[in-house]
Structure 1
Amino acid sequence: MAGKSLLTSGLRKTIGAGLNTCVWTEPWIPDIVARPPRPSDRVTYRHPKLLVHSFIRRDTRGWDTNLLLEYFHPEDIPLILKLRPSNTWSMDGYAWNYTKSGVYSVKSGYKRLQEIKACDVEVQVVQPSITGLQSHVWSIHALGKMRHFMWQALTGCIATTERLAYRHMGTDRSCPRCGDPEETINHLLFECPPPFRCGLYRTIRPFRVTSRVPLFIKTCFLFWKKKNVAHMEPLIETFPWILWYIWKTRNDKVFNGKEVSPVDTLQLASIEAECWRKANLLEDSEEEETQTAPSTISTLLADPQLPTCQIDASWIENDTVSGLGWFYKDQMGVERFGLQGCRKNISPLHDEMEGLIWAMSCLQDLLCTMIHIETDCSGLVDMIVNPTDWPAFAFELVSFKRLKAGFSVFNIDRIPRTKNLRADSLAKEARNIGVLFSHIDQTQPDRAFFRNDSSPTST
Structure 2
Amino acid sequence: MAGQMATTTHFIQTSNWYSYFGDEAKVEALIDEGTKECDHNLIQATFSQQEAELISQIPLINCNREDTLRWRCTVNGIFIVRSVYYLQGEIRDRQKGQCSQVTQTQEEWTRIWKLLITPATKNFMWRACLNILPTKAKLSKKKILDDPTCPICLREPETIEHILWECPSAADILRQCSRKIQKPQINYNSFRNIVEDMFSKLNQEEMAEFSMILTSIWWKRNQYVFKNIMIDPKSMIYRN
| CA pair 141-224 structure 1, distance change in 2 beyond 3 A | farther
Q: Is the 8 A contact 2:174 2:182 kept in 1?
A: no
Shift of 1:156: 0.8
Pick one of 139, 144, 155 that aligns with 1:164. 139
Aligned partners of 1:136 and 1:168: how far apart in 2? 34
**1:220 aligned onto 2:200:** no
1:420-431 paired onto structure 2 within 5 Å: none
Pick one of 119, 142, 146 that aligns with 2:121. 146
| CA pair 159-238 structure 1, distance change in 2 beyond 3 A | same
Q: Is the 8 A contact 1:191 1:211 kept in 2?
A: no
Q: Is the 8 A contact 1:196 1:202 kept in 2?
A: no
Which residue of 2 is the match for residue 136 of structure 1?
Answer: 111
- Secondary structure of the residue aligned to 2:114 is coil
Which residue of 1 is the match for residue 153 of structure 2?
Answer: 178
Shift of 1:211: 3.7
Which residue of 2 is the match for residue 259 of structure 1?
Answer: 230
| CA pair 249-207 structure 1, distance change in 2 beyond 3 A | closer
| CA pair 147-205 structure 1, distance change in 2 beyond 3 A | closer
**1:210 aligned onto 2:186:** yes
Which residue of 2 is the match for residue 407 of structure 1?
Answer: none
The AA in structure 1 aligned to 2:235 is D
Which residue of 2 is the match for residue 122 of structure 1?
Answer: 95
Shift of 1:205: 7.8
Shift of 1:252: 0.5
Shift of 1:184: 0.5
Deviations 1:283-315 (A, max 9, x none): xxxxxxxxxxxxxxxxxxxxxxxxxxxxxxxxx
Shift of 1:148: 0.4
The AA in structure 2 aligned to 1:223 is F
1:343-354 paired onto structure 2 within 5 Å: none
Shift of 1:153: 0.4
Q: Is the 8 A contact 2:181 2:210 kept in 1?
A: no
Higher helix proportion (structure 1 or 2): 2
Aligned partners of 1:206 and 1:247: how far apart in 2? 17
The AA in structure 2 aligned to 1:245 is S
Shift of 1:259: 0.6
Aligned partners of 2:92 and 2:190: how far apart in 1? 29
Q: Is the 8 A contact 1:173 1:182 kept in 2?
A: yes
- Secondary structure of the residue aligned to 1:198 is helix
Q: Is the 8 A contact 2:199 2:207 kept in 1?
A: no
- Secondary structure of the residue aligned to 2:202 is helix
Aligned partners of 2:207 and 2:115: how far apart in 1? 13
Deviations 1:211-239 (A, max 9, x none): 44532222013334213xx9xxx866511
With the length of structure 2 as denominator, give the TM-score of the two structures.
0.52
| CA pair 139-264 structure 1, distance change in 2 beyond 3 A | same
Which residue of 2 is the match for residue 246 of structure 1?
Answer: 217
- Percent identity, aligned pairs only? 23
- Secondary structure of the residue aligned to 2:128 is helix
Aligned partners of 2:117 and 2:143: how far apart in 1? 33
The AA in structure 2 aligned to 1:214 is S
| CA pair 139-208 structure 1, distance change in 2 beyond 3 A | same
1:214-363 paired onto structure 2 within 5 Å: 214-227=190-203, 237-268=208-239, 272=240
Q: Which runs of 5+ in 2 are unaligned?
A: 1-90
Aligned partners of 1:267 and 1:121: how far apart in 2? 46
Deviations 1:174-224 (A, max 9, x none): 000001230010011111111111126884588966144532222013334
Which residue of 1 is the match for residue 36 of structure 2?
Answer: none
Aligned partners of 1:207 and 1:241: how far apart in 2? 15
Aligned partners of 1:192 and 1:154: how far apart in 2? 18
Rg comparison, structure with higher value: 1
Shift of 1:264: 1.0
Q: Which runs of 5+ in 1 are unaligned?
A: 1-117, 273-459
| CA pair 179-199 structure 1, distance change in 2 beyond 3 A | same
